[in-house]
Chains A and B, each alone.
Chain A
Amino acid sequence: MRVVILSSSLYSETACAMAVRMAKLGQIPAGALALSTLNRGTLVRKLGQLGVGEVARYARAKLIPHSGNGQALNPSLEPWLKLEGGMFRSLREVAAFYEFPVAVCDDQNSSDSIARLKEWSPDLIIFAGGNVLRRQLLAVPRLGVLNVHLGLLPEVRGMSSPEWSLLNRIPIGITIHYMDAGIDTGPVLQKSEFPDVAQCESLIDLRSRLVAFGAERVGSVVEGLIRGTMFATPQSAPDPDPDPDKDRQFFVMHEWLQARAAERLVATRRVAVAGPVHM
């Protein structure tokens, strides 16, 4: 199967882990298309998400060799990123090791990007970050574009999914689905509840572990697709009167609510450590 990786940056650890995961399955990617790291939009987005200090630490760890103590920013991805005598720090390094092409673009939906993707004639594209994908790009791969959503669909669509799951007392997990023109509305291949929520120390830790859990699960989904044992099921039949509690889109969570979600995570951890209370 010809697999292509889409990435938000050359330095995305998630994209590197996905590429390594595919290579270890024997499916060395046919190519990887990353957004330019010095793209103004990417920088602004990262500054907004992480803050100046974290972006500076990220840039130092990625751009200056051996400055990051050989540690990944997401420690849960280290099993995929570790290399004898070092660590993969960029998609270029993964590509050089497994010998596949990497291209950089400013917009994954541009005609140049789509032409490049068509050259690689992928059966499957794995989305590990980047632009909102347009129909023209979604139509390129034979099977579709896979996305790992950090929430259970269709209950939690959109952004900040682990946090919204915590606040709304929805089980935490991941959904691997084909992307379509909607926001997390495509047919579902696999839904998995995350078993280690109680071991997570913070929301960042939870997200990091979920990303690694997703990278692991993507491998099993691709294996299933190759064997022909994995099938996608639509999230729901078109419903003229959808249940608003079952099909909700969420947006980036405000810090005040994030703090409450973090408290709920800590409470979950405490219950797990202390065990059930017997009165």
Chain B
Amino acid sequence: MSCIWLRLFEMTDDLRYLNAALKMNEMLKQLIVIRGRRDIDGGVSGSYPIWGRYQPLRYISWGCKFSADALLLEHRLTRSFDASTPGALSCAS
């Protein structure tokens, strides 16, 4: 969903899509395992909570793939947003 919203933001410049994606990525980052057992570190479960209906009790490889895609796309689009509004940025410094 996050990737779709970010692509929609890229196509339409409607900041509401970026807003939704930022919030979703924020939640996603909190769900990625970073202090678990070594074999699940960095894993993304199929559902949250992990016993949910989609891929219950599993960490799924495509979860990591789409998470990485979404975070990279967010990074690229937020950087280009900042670059396209230099006037606002210079005032922050």
Task: Give the interface of A toward B (CB within 8 A).
Answer: 164, 167-168, 248, 250-251, 253-254, 256-257, 259-260, 262-264, 266-267, 270
> Which residues of A have CB within 8 Å of B18?
257
Q: By the criterion CB–CB under 8 Å, are A263 and B88 in contact?
A: yes
- A sample of 7 inter-chain contacts (CB < 8 A) reads A248-B16, A251-B20, A253-B19, A256-B78, A257-B15, A260-B82, A263-B88
Taking CB atoms, residues of chain B closer than 8 Å to A267 are: 87-88, 91
In the assembled complex, how far is the CB of residue B10 from the closest CB belonging to chain A, in whole angstroms? 16
* Residue in A168, A248, A250, A264 whose CB lies within 8 Å of B88: A264
A266/B22 contact (C-beta < 8 A), A248-B16, A256-B78, A257-B15 known: no
Q: Is B11 an interface residue (CB 8 A)?
A: no
* Docked pose: A257 CA to B78 CA in angstroms: 9
CB interface residues, B 1-39, toward A, < 8 Å: 15-16, 18-20, 22-23, 26
Contact with A along B59-93 (1 / 0, CB 8 A): 00000000000000000001001100101110110
- A250 CA to B18 CA, complexed, in Å: 12
B7 to chain A, nearest CB (A): 18
Chain B's closest residue to A250 (CB) is: B16
Q: What is the CB-to-nearest-CB distance from B84 to chain A, in angstroms, rounded to a whole number?
A: 11
The 9 closest A-B pairs by CB, nearest first: A254-B22, A263-B88, A267-B91, A263-B92, A266-B91, A264-B88, A267-B88, A254-B23, A254-B19
> How many chain-B residues does the 8 Å CB contact rule pick out?
17
Query: Which of A164, A251, A270 has a CB less than 8 Å from the CB of B91?
Result: A270
In contact, B19 and A251 (Cβ under 8 angstroms): yes
Complex Cα gap A259–B19 (Å): 12
Q: Please measure, in the bound complex, the distance between the C-alpha atom of A256 and the C-alpha atom of B75, giving whole angstroms.
A: 12
Q: A167-B15, A168-B15, A248-B16 are in contact. Are A254 and B92 (CB under 8 A)?
A: no
Query: 10 other contacts beyond A168-B15, A263-B85, A263-B91, with CB at 8 A cut-off?
Result: A167-B15, A257-B15, A257-B18, A257-B22, A260-B82, A262-B92, A263-B88, A264-B85, A266-B88, A267-B87
**Which B residues are CB-close (under 8 A) to A266?**
88, 91-92
CB distance from B33 to the nearest CB of A (A): 23
Q: How far is the CA of A262 from the CA of B85 in the complex (A)?
A: 13
**Which residues of A are found within 8 Å of B81, using beta-carbon distances?**
260
Residues of A within 8 A of B26 (CB): 254
Which residues does chain B contribute within 8 Å of A250, judged by CB atoms?
A: 16, 19
* Minimum distance in angstroms from A206 CB to a CB of chain B: 15
Complex CA gap A270/B81 in Å reads: 21
* A248 and B23 alpha carbons, distance in the complex (Å): 19
Q: Which residues of A contact B85 (CB under 8 A)?
A: 260, 263-264
Residues of A with C-beta under 8 A to B20: 251
- With a cutoff of 8 Å between Cβ atoms, the chain B residues found around residue A167 in the complex are 15
Q: Could you tell me the distance between the alpha carbons of A5 and B15 in the complex, rounded to whole angstroms?
A: 35
| Least CB distance, B79 to chain A, in whole angstroms | 12
